[in-house]
Amino acid sequence: MRKILVAGLAGLLALVAGATAAEAAVYPNPGLVTGSTGAHDPTIVKRPAGGYLLATTGAGITLKTSADRTRFTDAGRAFPNGTSWANTYTNGDANLWAPDLSYHAGKYWMFYSASTFGSSRSAIFLATSATGASGSWANNGLVVESTTSSNFNAIDPNLIVTASGEWWLSFGSFWSGIKMVKLNPSTGKRADSTIHHLAERFVNSKSVEAPVIFYRGGYYYLFVAFDFCCRGASSTYRIMVGRSRSVTGPYVDRAGTAMTAGGGTEILASHDAIFGPGHPAVLADTDADVLVYHYYTSSGAARLGINLLGWDSSAWPYVY
C-alpha cells in the first residue's frame, strides 16, 4: 500500500510539474512587428482601400499606418493643432488616451478619452474623418463624461455595431467597473440616458478597464484588462474575457462566474520578457481574428503587440 501511495504521489507531483511547465509555455510572444512599434493603448482598423490605420494614446492622438499589419510607419497626429475642448479634463495636457477606431458609412470614427491619471473627472469625445489622415479629424464633441462624484470613469471607449445596426459604446476604468451606453448611429452621441453595467472587480483596487466587445458565432465577447498598467516592467496588466448572448450582458467567464462579480478568464499575461500585456483591441481580418495590445519590455518601454486569436471547441478564445 505504501509503495502505491508513494508511486501515486510521485505521479501527482510529475503531473503538477508538467502542468506548471505547460502553463509557463501557454502564452506566445508577440508576433513580428517592425518599424514604428512604440505604442500605448493601441486600436486598429482595416482601411477600405487596403492596409491598416492604427491610433494610440499620445499628444493629439498618435497615428500609424501599415500595408501588411507587420511594418508600421508614423503618420503624425490626429489633432496636430491641439484639442482645446479637452483641456478642462486634461488640465491642459496635450495627451489624449485610449482611442477607438472604426469605419462606418464611408468615414472613420474615433472615440477617445480626456482625463488625468487616477481621476474620474473624465470625458469621452468623438471625432470623424473621411481619410483618417493627420489633421483631417473633425471634433464632433462630447459623448460621455464623469465627475469626481461619479461612481464610474468615462475613459477607454469601444464601439460595437450589432448585426441589427445598433450602436453601443462600452467604457470604464476602476471605480464601479465597465459600463455601456446606447448611441444614435447617425450622430455617434447617446441615444438615451440608460447606463448598463457590464463588469466590476472587488480586489486589487477594483482594477478592471479597457473593454472591447467582439461578436462571433452568436456570442458577444467582452475583453478587458485586469490589474495595473503604466508601471513599465512592473506592470501587471493581463487580458481577460467573458461572453454573453446579449450585447448588454450578463457576461460570464469560462467557469460561469459573472463579470459583474469579478469574473474573467485569462487569455494573456506577463511571461518571459513580456510585461503587462493589456488594453486589448480585436480585429476580424481576412486571414484570422487579430488581438492587438501593448506590453512593456524589460527596459520599461511600451511596445505594440499583435497576435492571432483562435477559438476552441467550446468557442472560447485563445492567443497564438
CATH for 81: 2.115.10.20
Tell whether 12 is covered by a domain: no
Tell whether 270 is covered by a domain: yes
Tell whether 18 is covered by a domain: no
Range of the domain at 94: 31-319
Cell 444614435: give the residue.
Answer: 184
Tell whether 4 is covered by a domain: no
Tell whether 188 is covered by a domain: yes
Please pick, among 41, 156, 200, 253, the residue that the annotation labels catalytic.
Answer: 41
For 204-223, b where at least 16 C-beta lie within 10 A, e where not — what string?
eeebbbbbbbbbeeebbbbb
Domain count, the chain: 1
Please pick, among 100, 200, 209, 227, the residue that the annotation labels catalytic.
Answer: 209
Catalytic annotation on 41? yes
Element housing 181 (H / E): strand 178-183
* pLDDT tens by residue, the chain, 320 residues: 333 333 343 333 333 333 333 344 489 999 999 999 999 999 999 999 999 999 999 999 999 999 999 999 999 999 999 999 999 999 999 999 999 999 999 999 999 999 999 999 999 999 999 999 999 999 999 999 999 999 999 999 999 999 999 999 999 999 999 999 999 999 999 999 999 999 999 999 999 999 999 999 999 999 999 999 999 999 999 999 999 999 999 999 999 999 999 999 999 999 999 999 999 999 999 999 999 999 999 999 999 999 999 999 999 999 99
pTM reported for the whole predicted model? 0.92
- Entry field: residues in the chain: 320
Tell whether 204 is covered by a domain: yes
Catalytic annotation on 145? no
Tell whether 70 is covered by a domain: yes
Tell whether 245 is covered by a domain: yes
